[in-house]
Amino acid sequence: MAKPAQSLRSACTLVLCVLIASLVAVPLLQILSSLGQPSGGTWQHLRETVLPRYLWNTMFLAIGVGFSTMVMGVGAAWLVTRCRFIGSWVFEWALLLPLAIPSYLLAYAATDVFQFSGPVQTSLRELFDWSRNDYWFPNARSLPGAIVILSVNLYPYVYLTTRAAFLEQSSCVREMSRTLGLGPWKSFFRVSLPMARPSIFIGVSLVVMETLSEFGAVDYCAVDTLATGIYRTWTSRGSLVAASQLSLCLLGAVGFLIAFESLSRRSLRFYSGDASPKGSKRIQLSFPKGLVAALFCGSPILAGFLLPVTLFAYKTWNHGDERAMEMLSELGKNSLILATVAASLTVLLGLYLSHARRVRPSLPIRMASRVSGLGYAIPGGVIAMGVLGAILHFENGLNRVFESLLSWSPGFFFSGSIAALIVAYQTRFLSVSLGVIQAGLTRIHPDLDSVSRTLGKSGFAILSKVHLPILKRTLLCAFMLVFVDVLKELPATLILRPFNFDTLAVRVYQLASDERLDEASTAAIAIIATGIIPVILLSRLMSRGQLIETPFRQTQGRRNHD
């Protein structure tokens, strides 16, 4: 029997999904279209001179950061979910705090503290009476330095996904492995870890994507990667084509990662974890072991959060940016409005797209949601160029039409407006909300949809009456992740913001790039203060184990106990 003809409604859904996907696809195509264009020999030059170094550094950076965030994130997640030690309940939420610090701020702080004239080296010299050539000290502005800075900054992504996975794991499975003769360590490596593998992959691939597109911190550490190369090719050589061609290299790596992630997500398709994790016992660590565990969990918080916060607070207190103080309310308001609007929109679009994909999983809709997930890995600057190019094309065309019809044209109303900036944020961060919401949706058993349909509900009614209430916390989580990301975003904001419209991040960058770190500290501390509220909310949600919804765990909780 033939399936019924596609109704008007599903056609509308398709059109909307394609429109959303085009937010990401159009800037991407703009970049792809550069492939056939001549770059005036720049590409040839790049390939012969700097490209191997770019590739080499990028690869090293990605592997280094990916590996160390995996060790830090997974280790910390296991310690806080399975063990009890000094301060373990604090670490449980504090481990997320570095999320509130933009990576470039961490780079500024680390360089400032560890440079030759910084407090660490100065006090070492005073203590041991050394002079410049008496000792060796690691240089923060190097590839290893960048790896450490980014790892300390990005490990919360791995921690976040892995911890949720550990909490989801049924204590039955672990207890079973204990009865089969595995000790806690072996049971971790042979049972918990393999079971959490899909979530770890998702976390690590997020980290690697962030690393690939990282600009601010890497640039400050003077490491030449593809992302900084793109920016430099565009600004110093003025070759947009060559810059776009460089971006293509990056996109290749990203495509590979996304394929990898979707594979791991496929094996994640289980809907219920039966046992409640609250009932499972945690291992009480002995004092020395607990101290090691506390050190393991504490050092990334110290380096990734306390160090920059203390430094910027100290600098603000002693020699802050006098002008920034009066500008702060203005800048803060701009940042807040931008982040709120952009985050709400991404959540809305992400929800619509993932719902459409669940209800009507046709090939075009699946493709649309796949494409929408690509933006996260493209450097903000590249996205800005793509969005700007596309908008200008659109405005030019529109103006021409109006000119010929009415001999009047609306002018360039869209480019250089806040709306353009919001569009760029959608392009870049839609994948974040999409990923979180889709992960939340896969945890709602498909039978709930089926039963709603047998009860006479369809499409929008299922979304509003079933999915939405169940996903409330997931949506909040997606909102806050994007909110913090927008707050920290730098390159796209720099390029696309309207005249006389500054945000906190822009202000920090402008001051720091003039080596006026003391003055930059004021805006820096304001960014951290604004970002910390959603991050703490996020940690609180997470520490209650409610980050990812598992409705069926609830309904299966007390079965067979009439």
Partner 1 sequence: MTNDLGLEVRDVSHKYGKKFSVRAASLDVSAGSVHCLLGHSGSGKTTLLRIIAGLEYALGGKVMLGGQTVTCEGVHHPTEKRSIGFVFQNYALFPHLSVIRNVMFGMGRRSRKEQRELAMDLLRQVELEDYARSMPHTLSGGQQQRVALARALGRKPAVMLLDEPFSELDARLRSEVREITLRVLRASGTATLMVTHDPQEALSSGDKVSVMHLGRIEQTASPDQIYHRPANERTAQIFGVINRISSDSEFGKTLPRREETGEWLIRPEQIELSNASGVGERCRGVIVQICYEGPTVLVQSRLNSGQLIWSREFAPTNFRVGESVQVYLSVGDGFGQASAERWKTRA
One character per residue 3-22, x = contact with partner 1 (rule: CB under 8 A): xx------------------
Q: 508 near 524, Cβ under 8 Å? A: yes
452 binds partner 1 (CB under 8 A): yes
270 binds partner 1 (CB under 8 A): no
| Single residue of 286, 318, 454, 500 touching partner 1 by CB under 8 A | 454
2 binds partner 1 (CB under 8 A): yes
Least Å distance between CB 457 and partner 1?
6
**Cα–Cα distance between 228 and 382 in angstroms, integer?**
11
Beta strands 283-284; 83-84: pairing state: parallel
555 binds partner 1 (CB under 8 A): yes
What are the residues facing 284 on neighbouring strands?
A: 84
400 binds partner 1 (CB under 8 A): no
360 binds partner 1 (CB under 8 A): no
Q: 142 near 223, Cβ under 8 Å? A: yes
Instruction: Tell me which residue has tokens 């003055």.
Output: 519
Quick one: which H or E segment has residue 84? Answer: strand 83-84
451 binds partner 1 (CB under 8 A): yes
Q: Residue 393 or 472: which CB sits closer to partner 1?
A: 472
Q: Residue 329 or 450: which CB sits closer to partner 1?
A: 450
The total number of residues shown for the chain amounts to 562
Least Å distance between CB 455 and partner 1?
3
Q: Residue 15 or 468: which CB sits closer to partner 1?
A: 468
The CA distances from residue 19 to 231, 271, 357, in Å, are 28, 31, 14
Number of residues forming the site for partner 1 (CB under 8 A): 31
Other beta carbons less than 10 A from residue 491's beta carbon: 25
Least Å distance between CB 466 and partner 1?
6
Q: Rounded to 5 degrees, what are φ and ψ at 241?
A: -65, -50
| Single residue of 124, 450, 498, 533 touching partner 1 by CB under 8 A | 450
Least Å distance between CB 469 and partner 1?
4
The CA distances from residue 23 to 369, 429, 434, in Å, are 11, 11, 14
Q: Which of 462, 425, 436 is nearest to 447 (CA)?
A: 462
363 binds partner 1 (CB under 8 A): no
Least Å distance between CB 166 and partner 1?
22
Region binding partner 1 by CB under 8 A among candidate stretches 163-171, 221-229, 325-333, 449-457: 449-457
Torsion 376-380-386-391 (CA) sign: positive
End-to-end CA distance of the chain: 45
362 binds partner 1 (CB under 8 A): no
| Alpha helices, H only, 83-170 | 88-94, 103-114, 119-128, 143-168
Q: Residue 263 or 468: which CB sits closer to partner 1?
A: 468
One character per residue 464-503, x = contact with partner 1 (rule: CB under 8 A): -xx--xx---------------------------------
Other beta carbons less than 10 A from residue 278's beta carbon: 9
93 binds partner 1 (CB under 8 A): no
Q: Rounded to 5 degrees, what are φ and ψ at 84?
A: -120, 125
Least Å distance between CB 179 and partner 1?
23
556 binds partner 1 (CB under 8 A): yes
The residues of the shown chain that bind partner 1, judged by CB under 8 A, are 1-4, 445, 447-448, 450-458, 465-466, 469-470, 551-552, 554-562
